[in-house]
Structure 1
Amino acid sequence: MSTLDRRAILKALTASVAVLATGGLTAAPVSAAADVSEDWTTQTLGAFADTLIPGESRFSGDRVCAGAVTGPGAVQAGVIDVMNSPQLPLAPLLPAIAALLDVRAVAYAAVRLIWLSPSRPPFVDLSFSHRTNLVRGLFGSDDIDQPVWQVLSLMVGIAFDTAGQFDTGSALTQGHPGLAWLRFPTPDPDGLWRFADFSYGRPLAALHPATTPSGSPA
C-alpha cells in the first residue's frame, strides 16, 4: 500500500470516527444475520471486527463470526453497515483495507505452515486463536499500518459499545445488540439520563454555589 493510500485511508477512517462520535449518522439498519453471499471484503472486515469484539455464530458453518463466545458481538451490532454507510467517506476504501488484512493473513499462515482454503478470504480461514495472534501483532509499534488498525478498531468499538450510528434513545428502543448486552440504562421519561447513584456511593465534592443550571462551573 502506498503512502498516498495510507494517508487516504487514515483520513477517511478518522473522519468516520469523528462523525460517529458526534452521532452524526441517521438511523441505519443493524444486520444481525448474514448468508454465504457476503463478498470477500465484508467477510474479512467482519472477521476482523469479530476478533476484537467476538459474538456467537449467526448460522451453522459461519466462518466470519467464529462463535468464540455466546451473545452478540460487533458484527451483530451492525459494524459492517456502519463502515458502508453512504454518509461516511470510508466505503470506497474498504476493499483495500480488507485486501491488506488478507495479505497479512497469508504471510502469517506461510510462516506457520497453515494451509488456507482458496474458497474463502485468508483472514477468515484462520482459526479464531490465529486471528487473535495476528491482530495482536497488527497493533505492535513496529507495524507500518498500525494507525490504520487502531482507528478501524475505534469504529468497531463505537458500533458495539455506544451504538454511535444511532441516537442513543432510539438504539435502546430498537434493542441494539451491543447496548442491550452491556445493559446500558434507559433514560428517564423525559429522554434524559440522570444518575442518582454516585460512582463511589457518595458525592466527591459539594456543588459550588455559583454553578450554572446547565452544570457549568462558575
Structure 2
Amino acid sequence: METSASAGRDTATATLEAFADTIVPGERRDPGDRAVAGAAPGPGAVAAGALALLRNPATGVTDGLDGYVEALNRHAVAHAREHGRVLDETVPPFVALDFADRTALVRTLTSPEHPEKELWVLLALFCNMAFDTAAHLPTLDAIRAGHPGLATMGFAPPDRDGLWRFPAFSYRRELAPIHPGTTSTGSPA
C-alpha cells in the first residue's frame, strides 16, 4: 500500500501516525502527506515523536502494535461502510478517512460503552505523552533539540547546571519549608 503520497511509510507506520495525529493534530510534513491530516497549525503528536514512544518496549504496547493497526483499519472499513464513505485503496483504510471521520471513529472507540475502550485510550495516552512530556527522551535532550510539544507548552529550561529551580512559587506562597537536610543539589541528606 505504498504510494508516492506515503513516501516510504509502511502500512503500520502510516496508520499509527494517522492515529497519533488524530489525538494531537499537527500540520502536514509535506503536501503529499496523507497520514498527518494538517488539521491544526504547528507540530502535533507525530512531530513530537509519538511513534518513537509507541515503539519503545518500555510502554508495554510494542508487541501489540500490529494488532492495533489491523483492528484500527478494520474499524475504519466498517466506519466507511456505515457512513457511505469510499476509501482510497492506495493507503491504509484509517489513513484514507478524512480528519472528521478519523475523529468520529476514535471518539467511538474511546467511548465508555465501547468494549475495546481501554486499548484505544491506552494508545491515545501514549500519543499525548509523546507531545506533552517527550516521555521517550531525556528531558534535557528534548529541550535542547527543541521538542515541539515541550516548546509549544513553554516548558521551562533548567538552570545552567541542569537543575530546575523556581524562585517564584507557582501558588504564590511556599507550600512547605525546605527540609533542613536538603543538599544544594536538592537531594535529601
Give the TM-score category using the shorter length.
Answer: 0.7 to 0.9
The letter of the residue matching 1:83 is: L
SS of residue paired to 1:120:
coil
Give the Cα–Cα distance (whole angstroms) in 2 for the partners of residues 166 and 37 of structure 1. Answer: 24
Distance change (3 Å), C-alpha of 1:91 and 1:206: closer
Give the Cα–Cα distance (whole angstroms) in 2 for the partners of residues 113 and 35 of structure 1. Answer: 24
Q: 1:49: how far off? A: 0.4
Residues 1:207 and 2:182 aligned together: no
Of 67, 75, 80 in structure 1, the residue corresponding to residue 51 of structure 2 is 80
Give the Cα–Cα distance (whole angstroms) in 2 for the partners of residues 87 and 137 of structure 1. Answer: 28
Residues 1:162 and 2:133 aligned together: yes
The letter of the residue matching 2:42 is: G
The letter of the residue matching 2:82 is: V
Of 164, 170, 174 in structure 2, the residue corresponding to residue 193 of structure 1 is 164
Q: 1:93: how far off? A: 2.3
**Relative CO higher for 1 or 2, CA cutoff 8 Å, sep ≥ 6?**
1
Distance change (3 Å), C-alpha of 1:211 and 1:139: farther
TM normalised by structure 1 equals: 0.76
Q: Superposition pairs for residues 85-124 of structure 1, below 5 Å?
A: 85=56, 90-124=61-95
Question: Deviations for 1:152-193, whole angstroms, at most 9, x for unmatched residues?
Answer: 112111111111111101111111121112121000111111
Distance change (3 Å), C-alpha of 1:140 and 1:80: same
The letter of the residue matching 2:35 is: V
Residues 1:42 and 2:17 aligned together: no
Q: Give the aligned partner of residue 179 of structure 1.
A: 150
The letter of the residue matching 2:182 is: P
Q: 1:142: how far off? A: 1.5
Q: Give the aligned partner of residue 133 of structure 1.
A: 104
TM normalised by structure 2 equals: 0.86
The letter of the residue matching 1:198 is: F
The letter of the residue matching 2:73 is: D
Give the Cα–Cα distance (whole angstroms) in 2 for the partners of residues 87 and 106 of structure 1. Answer: 31
SS of residue paired to 1:164:
coil
Give the Cα–Cα distance (whole angstroms) in 2 for the partners of residues 119 and 54 of structure 1. Answer: 22
Q: In the alignment, is the contact (CA less than 8 A) between 2:6 and 2:14 conserved in 1?
A: no
> Gapped runs of 5+ residues in structure 2?
none
Poorly superposed stretches of 4+, deviation over 6 Å: none
Percent identity, aligned pairs only, is: 44
